[in-house]
């Protein structure tokens, strides 16, 4: 059986002292083994990147950008191959994988503009014959730790920006679906990136901790669950590193009485069940204002869910595929069980899902739960599966309070025709990304992605303008070239323009 290796100094290497199974979630069968990096392997990747940094830092920014232009071309040329790898190891349906890749490519496009957004500011004659300007300089060697649910898009949030800003980057992708990241590492080399500037190590906590404690690593980017995000952030910052750690989510949709319910239902279906709900921006809670609206929405959802099709990634007619592992399937089923035990009503039950010809796959069918309350375990947690819960409240204020009280503040949306209500909602809701009649308000590449509260640890969001600032340091330079005919006297007071 093939072993998926690491990518260090422009070559694929195997550190096979330890391996871990990689599954095809559609079939439930082991497809490959992935090498789990030892501490020495991670340290080797760090040493190679450290050696490559001075030359890459001094490479003109336009030449760094040209590598990204070529890389974008290669991503597009190899799109079908990349999506196949995503499907084989994640289970994501091909059309969904293509959407993930396209979102990632858009971040590469933004990074191609580095010559513009790395320009500093210049002020002439801030004092007599004194000029001042700022520069944005790279940090050095930085690292990214990315999740299984977007094995291509999330790495593309990170390393194109870091690299084009002049840093060297080490990626630790999810060990559950590592092949697509390894493939795009090879595309970077084809695009002309010098060996050592980008490295990839597969691994577990040992690899992560090595990155966190290595003094050469200047910054860490992370996307994953909140408990791990908090661990990454506290450990990295305690070691003096810059850190952005994106955590979990519980995304609510408020359905106002004036909403277009047909559009609401269509939006909820895609946002709740797309990618089997394994998205940090998945809409997992519908908050209906009034029982009448709740009853109508549930009736329409119940009808539409019957027409949803789930199955293997390779069938384009499927709406969504399996969850990532058997263990994760059992976790999702456990939350459905707990909701039922705590008094919620299972309207559509996906716990017995089976797909003909793929009986051993890790499938959970679309599940709709009514009469959910804020004290239930299934409401408090991020289920990360194809489960949509409905909570009934009587007013918009109650709905907003529910959202504001939740520990997560990643994404939310409101369905309404009332501009005043929408404006009030967007102003006062305590959530980082807000949609108005938009179910998945994921910012485009030239904005930045980040939640509030325990959905984001750190001061800067991912990609876009915040990404450029995260991977650079501002340096301000003030200079004066005094005339040779003028000699200045001693001055002991604070310099001013007086």
CA distances from 281 to 1, 247, 285, 345, 383 (A): 35, 11, 11, 24, 12
Does residue 280 have an active-site annotation? Answer: yes
Helix (H) or strand (E) holding 253: strand 251-255
CA distance 259 to 270: 17
CA distance 254 to 258: 11
What is the sign of the dihedral through the CA atoms of 385, 388, 392 and 396? positive
Neighbouring C-beta atoms of residue 321, cutoff 10 Å: 31
Backbone angles phi, psi at 16, to 5 degrees: -100, 25
Beta carbons of 148 and 170 less than 8 angstroms apart = no
| Residue linked to tokens 């990155």 | 211
CA distance 262 to 297: 9
CA distance 245 to 232: 7
Label each residue of 36-92 as H, E or C: CCCHHHHHHHHHHHHHHHHHHHCCCHHHHHHHHHHHHHHHHHCHHHHHHHHHHHHCC
Q: Residue 423: which residues within 8 A CB-CB, separation 6 or more?
A: none
Instruction: Select from 423, 432, 430 the least CA-distant residue to 403.
Output: 430
Q: Residue 492: which residues within 8 A CB-CB, separation 6 or more?
A: none
Of the residues 83, 168, 243, 280, only one is catalytic, namely: 280
Q: Residue 76: which residues within 8 A CB-CB, separation 6 or more?
A: 105
Catalytic positions are: 280
């Amino acid at each position: 059986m093939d072993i998926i290796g690491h990518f260090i100094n422009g070559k694929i290497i195997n550190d096979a002292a330890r391996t871990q199974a990689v599954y095809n979630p559609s079939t439930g069968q082991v497809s490959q083994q992935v090498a789990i990096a030892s501490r020495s392997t991670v340290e080797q990747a760090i040493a190679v990147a450290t050696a490559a940094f001075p030359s890459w830092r001094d490479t003109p920014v336009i030449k760094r950008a040209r590598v990204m232009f070529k890389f974008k071309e290669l991503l597009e040329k190899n799109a079908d191959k990349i999506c196949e790898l995503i499907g084989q190891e994640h289970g994501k349906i091909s059309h969904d994988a293509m959407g993930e890749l396209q979102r990632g490519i858009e971040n590469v496009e933004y990074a191609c503009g580095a010559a513009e957004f790395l320009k500093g500011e210049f002020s002439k004659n801030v004092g007599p014959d004194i000029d001042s300007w700022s520069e944005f300089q790279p940090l050095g060697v930085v690292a990214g730790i990315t999740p299984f649910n977007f094995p291509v898009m999330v790495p593309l949030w990170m390393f194109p920006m870091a690299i084009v800003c002049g840093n060297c980057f080490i990626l630790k992708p999810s060990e559950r679906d590592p092949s697509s990241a390894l493939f795009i590492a090879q595309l970077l080399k084809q695009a002309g990136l010098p060996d050592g500037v980008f490295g990839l190590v597969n691994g577990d906590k040992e690899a992560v901790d090595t990155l966190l404690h290595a003094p050469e690593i200047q910054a860490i980017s992370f996307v994953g669950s909140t408990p791990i995000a908090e661990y990454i952030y506290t450990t990295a910052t305690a070691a003096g590193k810059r850190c952005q750690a994106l955590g979990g989510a519980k995304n609510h949709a408020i359905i106002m009485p004036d909403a277009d319910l047909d559009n609401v239902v269509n939006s909820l279906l895609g946002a709740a069940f797309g990618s089997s709900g394994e998205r940090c921006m998945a809409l997992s809670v519908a908050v209906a204002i009034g029982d009448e609206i709740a009853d109508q929405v549930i009736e329409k959802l119940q009808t539409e869910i019957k027409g949803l099709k789930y199955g293997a990634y390779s069938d384009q007619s499927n709406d969504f595929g399996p969850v990532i592992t058997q263990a994760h399937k059992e976790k999702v089923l456990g939350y459905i069980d707990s909701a039922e035990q705590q008094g919620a009503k299972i309207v559509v039950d996906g716990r017995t899902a089976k797909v003909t010809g793929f009986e051993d796959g890790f499938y959970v069918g679309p599940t709709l739960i009514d009469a959910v309350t804020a004290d239930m375990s299934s409401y408090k947690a991020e289920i990360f599966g194809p489960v949509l819960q409905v909570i009934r409240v009587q007013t918009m204020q109650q709905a907003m309070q529910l959202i504001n009280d939740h520990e997560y503040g990643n994404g939310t949306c409101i369905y309404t025709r009332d501009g005043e209500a929408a404006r009030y909602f967007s102003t006062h809701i305590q959530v980082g990304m807000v949609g108005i009649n938009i179910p998945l308000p994921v910012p485009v590449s030239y904005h930045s992605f980040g939640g509030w509260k325990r959905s984001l640890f750190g001061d800067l969001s991912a990609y876009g303008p915040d990404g450029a600032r995260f991977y650079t340091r501002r340096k301000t330079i003030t200079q004066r070239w005094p005339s040779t005919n003028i000699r200045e006297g001693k001055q002991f007071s604070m310099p001013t323009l007086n």
